Structure 1
Amino acid sequence: MPFTWVDWAIVAIVAISALISLSRGFVKEALSLLTWIIAGAVAWMFGGSLSEYLAGYIQTPSARVIAGCTIMFVATLIVGAMINYLIGELVRVTGLSGTDRFLGMAFGAARGVLLVVVAVGLLSLGPVQQDEWWQQSQLVPKFLLVADWSKNLILGWSSQWLASGISVPADIPFKEHLLPTAKTPQ
């Protein structure tokens, strides 16, 4: 059976991701991913603290926390982009760019496959399984197997984690910044 349009779309997603990473290189791609993860962690940990300084500008506590987290996230992305540029230049001048680009292409292809696995897994939750394009696809069933395997793996890990008695921390870093402060009577 020939490829359907959805199969060609899957191939295009993986190929485009690989080509983008081929042009950027592994070091830039890996540092970019790391920067996004660090930016999320920094926003999570310090956004609430920054929100205290925004009290004179933003009255609503939740909007203050959102603004604080957003500022921390964007600032971390900017710093990460500068570091990424400097390290990218270092890789370029050391002559490792060929190897870096090849590894980047492999990284990009893996990222494209991951994107397709997530998309197929999410789409499978809806009524698309009855659609003709879904049923006639050559690649969707293969990616659906990986999506199901991943889901079962994640559910297994999370059930072991919960059964071990470890729980999600009840206190989020910025919880106290969302609650109204108690005023002492004078």
Structure 2
Amino acid sequence: LFCGYLSPYLGTYINNSAVCTVAAFILLFIITFLVVKIVQTIVSSIFGGEILGSLDRLLGFVFGAREGLCIVCVILILVKAQPWFDSSAVTSGSFYWSLLGNILSKPINSVAGIFI
């Protein structure tokens, strides 16, 4: 996504554009990973106390639940958008589909255009 911004700068050192794009992606991934690890270390040292430890667990639960919901949404979008089999048998009794079906209708239609 952002490797296109870094590729021109690496192009002065690397002649092949495909290798340049891959190198930019890897470099951005490593830098982002290191920044996230540094922030994680700082935050974990701040939340080291007993009271803040409970807040850390609560926030971990909230963000974990949100991440799980995002994964369920992606799976539902892919299952409904694919043209290879009828997914109504899978989603007809689904608790998540009954909650998220109306919300996911627009992303499903957008992704369905990719499969066709």
Q: TM-score, normalized by length of structure 2?
A: 0.69
What amino acid sits opposite 2:99 in the alignment?
A: K
After superposition, give the CA deviation of every residue in 1:73-116 in whole Å (9 maximum; x if it has no partner).
Answer: 22221232123212221221484121121122122112211221
Q: Residue deviations 1:121-153, cap 9 Å, x none?
A: 2211123424x33333343232222212x639x
The Cα shift of 1:47 comes to: 3.9
Q: Quick one: which of 24, 45, 49 aligns to 2:9? A: 49
Q: Which amino acid aligns with 1:88?
A: S
Contact 1:51 1:67 in 2 (8 A): no
Task: State, as a whole percentage, how many aligned pairs show the same letter.
Answer: 18
- Highest RCO, 1 vs 2 (Cα 8 Å, sep ≥ 6): 1
Name the structure 1 match of 2:113: none
Which has the higher mean CA deviation after the structures are superposed, 44-53 or 75-84? Answer: 44-53
Instruction: Please tell me whether residue 147 in structure 1 is matched to residue 104 in structure 2.
Output: yes
Aligned residue number for residue 114 of structure 2: none
TM-score of the two chains, using structure 1 as the length reference: 0.47
Q: Equivalents in 1 of 2:98, 2:32: separation in Å? A: 39
Match of 2:93 in 1: 136
CA distance in 2, matches of 1:143, 1:92: 37
Name stretches of at least 5 consecutive residues in structure 2 with no aligned partner. Answer: 111-116
Note closer, same or farther for the CA distance 1:79–1:51 as it changes in structure 2 (3 Å cut). Answer: farther
One-letter amino acid of the structure 1 residue matched with residue 43 of structure 2: I
Would the alpha carbon gap of residues 72 and 106 (structure 1) be closer, same or farther in structure 2, given more than 3 Å must change? Answer: closer
Secondary structure of the structure 2 residue equivalent to 1:146? coil
Aligned match of 1:96: 52
**Is there any run of 5+ residues in structure 1 with no aligned partner, and where?**
1-39, 156-186
